[in-house]
């Protein structure tokens, strides 16, 4: 937050004293192991309260140089090594030694993870002459996977015959009114 923003927030009047660091506060922070640049960064840029900025110790910087060298020897780039440690929470040894996954393996893993239909049923449907699209449509219409993969597709004549039977069942023989 800029100083002008603080002035505007305070109604344009006096500037907040939270951003002014006194010489005594610099000394107190120095006694706690916090240098002036870090104190200013914490208060001015990060917006920390003065007490927190002066009393919170600096984090120790971990030296991962040896593990980074091992990672480079194993064909793992530094950024990948650091992502594995910082983002994914891997320990340094695993991050430096576990080989990279090739693109095909990664793509296959992603495909398997996102797979919706059992590959065995898809294969069974193909063996029974049922197109993938038909199999999927049957599943979406509430059929179970086994039935969708095994029940043969109706021919046009079979569909017509079943339609005629259902019509006669519901409305009677509608051909009886024809005068041939």
Q: What is the mean pLDDT, run by run of 10 residues, along the chain of 180 residues? A: 48 61 93 93 91 89 87 94 92 92 88 88 95 94 94 91 88 67
> So what's the pLDDT on residue 93?
93
| pTM for the structure as a whole | 0.39
Produce one character per residue of 141-179: b if its CB has 16 or more CB atoms within 10 Å, e if not.
Answer: eeeebeebbeeeeeeeeeeeeeeeeeeeeeeeeeeeeee
> So what's the pLDDT on residue 7?
45
* Pair 54, 28: CB distance under 8 Å: yes
pLDDT tens across 61-84, in order? 778 889 999 999 999 999 999 999
Distance CA 130, CA 154 (A): 10
Residue pointed to by tokens 């059929």 = 143
């Amino acid at each position: 937050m800029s100083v002008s923003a603080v002035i505007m927030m305070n109604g344009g009047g006096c500037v907040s004293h939270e951003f002014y660091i006194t010489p005594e506060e610099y000394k107190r922070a120095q006694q706690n192991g916090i240098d002036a640049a870090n104190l200013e960064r914490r208060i001015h840029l990060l917006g920390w309260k003065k007490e927190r900025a002066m009393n919170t110790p600096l984090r120790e910087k971990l030296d991962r140089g040896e593990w980074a060298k091992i990672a480079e020897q194993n064909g793992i780039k530094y950024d990948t090594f650091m992502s594995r440690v910082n983002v994914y929470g891997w320990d340094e040894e695993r991050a430096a030694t576990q080989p990279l996954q090739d693109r095909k393996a990664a793509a296959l893993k992603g495909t398997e993870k996102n797979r919706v239909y059992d590959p065995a049923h898809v294969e069974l449907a193909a063996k029974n002459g049922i197109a993938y699209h038909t199999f999927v449509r049957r599943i979406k219409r509430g059929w179970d996977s086994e039935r969708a993969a095994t029940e043969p597709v109706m021919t046009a004549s079979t569909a017509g015959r079943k339609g005629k039977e259902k019509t006669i069942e519901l409305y009677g023989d509608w051909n009886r009114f024809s005068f041939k």
